[in-house]
Amino acid sequence: MNKNDLIKRTKDFSLRIIKLVDALPGTIAGKNIGNQIFRSGTSVAANYRAACRTRSTSEFIAKLGIVEEEADETMFWLEMIMDSETIKKELLQDLYKEANEITAIIVSSKITARNNKNKK
């Protein structure tokens, strides 16, 4: 997967998160979880895009670390939504799977970037 493909994939993921937030109930829990997952889920795309514009390998690796943290946090909030039965688990499984795949891709990219940096 190239940089532009992952930029699009993370943006599409963020858009799906926005739609999820709109579908959450207007309860105190729904609003608070919505705020949290909105921030972390949209941050995945914003920070990956920023990572693609870095000036050094060290900066790139650091930005990927932020993307990894935000994707993992998003997975946590998705788990909370599913476990609390705020939204049916079946409706969120594909989104959760996508969050997990993005996290794995970012971790792999970090490892590759570190290995390439150490070879220089």
CATH code, 104: 1.20.1440.60
SS (H, E, C) 8-30: HHHHHHHHHHHHHHHHCCCCHHH
- Residue 85 DSSP code: T
What is the pTM assigned to this prediction? 0.93
Q: 39-92: per-residue pLDDT in tens? A: 999 999 999 999 999 999 999 999 999 999 999 999 999 999 999 999 999 999
Helix (H, G, I), strand (E, B) or coil at 53: coil
For residue 18, give both structure tokens. 């926005």
pLDDT at position 119 over 90: no
Here the tokens at position 106 are 């970012």
Per-residue pLDDT reduced to its tens digit, 20-42? 999 999 999 999 999 999 999 99
- Total number of domains constituting the chain: 1
Give the domain range for residue 35. 3-119
Check whether 16 has a pLDDT greater than 80: yes
